[in-house]
Each structure stands twice: as structure tokens, then as C-alpha cells.
Amino acid sequence: MKGKLKQSGLSALAVLGLAGMLLAGGIPARAAVPQPVVTHTVGTGDSLYGIAGKFGVSVNALKQVNPLGADWLAPGQVLIIPGPGARPANHTVQKGESLYAIARKFGLATLELMAANGLTATLINPGQVLTLPDSAAPAATGRTLAQILAAKGLPAPAPLQIVVDKSAHRLSVFAGDGWLKSYPVQLGGGGSGPKQTQGDHRTPQGFFYIVQKAVLQPADEFLGSRWLRLGYPNIGDAIRGVSGRLIGAAEYQTIVTAFRDKTVPPQYTALGGGIGIHGGDRPSLGPDWTWGCIGLSDPDVEDLYPHATPGTPVIILP
């Protein structure tokens, strides 16, 4: 036992002390670690009811995260599949995994993971089931996204998924099923709910791609130093628009084609446009000051920008 403790660099007293702090609430509760989002690309013959059944969710749950203006779908449309929104309760150790790597994957401190499992050393074995405490959230590491990718051995730019959680005012970046980093964001000043029409100043919801990017020199007063255009409106918005007679059949088809090709859709229809991720956020502007975009501080958008390439999926949750 002494050898194991020496190997881990921890004392039993330290681990037991941490466990006591966790149980007694000495470490403040934090939100669940952000999780990547499951999506489904609609195929010919797919229906809302069929997709709901396939993933074991209700049609209403699908409609809550996908702002659908009608019950019909179009091939190529991408639906967000609602999930539990929290990390799994446990993790089975795989060959080659270390306690440190597992803790990093789920946004935990190694000591927290040890305390939750009564471990006094960092030695773990394949097949061992570890309890994942759900009080921990991503800690601010102070590292750039480039440094995080390099530490994980991922290429730059790596295939990423960007998830914007409107209710949490948070933009999170994922590679595969692993969380990398999160940034605070400000949203549109038009209130909650998905964007509906031009000029409503709401932030959209749904699945989009980055379709254009630009360095702004000099920096714009409100867009800051970087601009990442999103492919809004998407197919779901086009269905809503043509069903509600906001757009015609020709505009509908142009939007559908642009989404499938991951190019810029029409920006001047009644559905609105000009939605993107940009910089410019600062305390003097107050909360939710954009016209529907996702606003980051200039340092944060500059950190994200090199890795957010055209074609990167951006999922905006309610």
C-alpha cells in the first residue's frame, strides 16, 4: 500500500480528506460537463415518427430542439437528437487508458475521480468500472484551443463540432466525443426562442454549418476582429418559411441546395440572414446585445477562429 501511495504521489489522508469535502459540499457544485450532440441526417422516406422511434425519443422532444414549422422533412435536413445533457454515470476502463486521461475526458480532476471511487492510488485496470461524479464541470485551464488539441494529439485544424447552448450562454467545442473547451457568449436581444423572421434579433436554433470566415482589419466596433458566417437559414427554416408563405418555392429550393452544398444561403429573404459567430463582446455592451449572432470576446473568437473551418457543424440548442 505504501508503495502504491508513493507511486501515485498522494497520501491516503489527502484522498480521504478530499472525499470528505466532496460529501460535505466543501467543493461547490458545478454544472454538468458539456456533451457532444447526436444528429440524424434525414433520408428519403424518413418521418418524424420513424426517427423518434429509432432513437427512443418522443416527437415532441424532437420538436423542442428542432424548430420545425411543419411535420414534413426534406432529404439532407439534419435533426438534433435530444439527449440527457449530462455525462454518463460510469465509465468502463479500456486498455491503455490512464486515470488522468479519463479524468480529462470527462472534465474532472484526478483527485475527484479517485475520491468518487475510493481509490488511494492511480493504478486502474481494463474492465474496471469507475463512477463519474456529476458535480464536476470543465475547469478553466487557461490553455488555448491549439494547446489543447496538441496535448490530445489531434491535428490542427481537427474535425470539430461546435455546440452553442443558449440557455447556458456557452459555446463548447468537441472533437469526437471529447469536450475540448468552452467560451461564454452573448446572444440576440430579441428574446428567447428561435429566429423566425428578418429583423427579430433572435438567435436561431438548429443545425448549421460554418460557410464563410473572415479576419476583420481593422476590427469592427460590434463584430470585433473575426467573423464566422453560419448557413442560416437552413432546410428546417426553409420548410417553415414556405409552409408559412414567407418565401416562395424558388427561394426554398435555393436554401435547400445551399445547405446540402455547405454554401451561403440567400441572406435577404423574409427569414432573415447575416447570422454568425463573431467577436466584439465586452462588459459595456451588457447582456444579449447582438442582432441575432453569437458574440464572443475578441480574445476568445481569435482562439476559436483558426480551428473553425468552413463545413464545421454548429449546433444551436434552446
In the set 40, 169, 201, 278, the catalytic residue is 278
Q: Are 233 and 258 in contact (CB under 8 A)?
A: no
When pLDDT is cut at 50, 70 and 90, the band that residue 103 belongs to is confident
* 177-191 tens-digit pLDDT: 789 999 999 999 999
- Rounded to the nearest integer, the mean pLDDT of the chain is 86
pLDDT digits (tens, 9 = 90+) for 214-267: 999 999 999 999 999 999 999 999 999 999 999 999 999 999 999 999 999 999
Q: What is the pLDDT of residues 5-57, one digit of tens each?
A: 333 344 444 444 444 444 333 333 344 567 889 999 999 999 999 999 999 99
* Catalytic residue (one of 40, 91, 201, 293): 293
Residue 84, pLDDT > 80, answer no
Q: Which of 39, 46, 54, 38 is nearest to 75 (CA)?
A: 46
pLDDT band at 138 (very low <50, low <70, confident <90, very high): very low
Write down the pLDDT at residue 176: 84
pLDDT value of residue 107: 67
Domains of the chain as residue ranges with CATH? 2-29+92-131 (3.10.350.10), 38-81 (3.10.350.10), 145-317 (2.40.440.10)
Torsion of CA 70, 72, 75, 77, to 10 degrees: 30
Handedness of CA 61, 39, 88, 156 (dihedral sign): negative
pLDDT for the residue 281: 95
Q: How far apart are CA 255 and CA 259, in angstroms?
A: 6
Told to judge if 293 belongs to the known catalytic residues of this protein, a careful annotator would answer: yes
pLDDT score of 8: 39
How would residue 145 be classed by pLDDT, with cut points 50, 70 and 90? very high
Tell me what the mean pLDDT of segment 103-131 comes to: 85
Residue 201 among the catalytic residues: no
Look at the block and give the residue holding cell 491516503: 12
* 3 state DSSP class of 87: coil
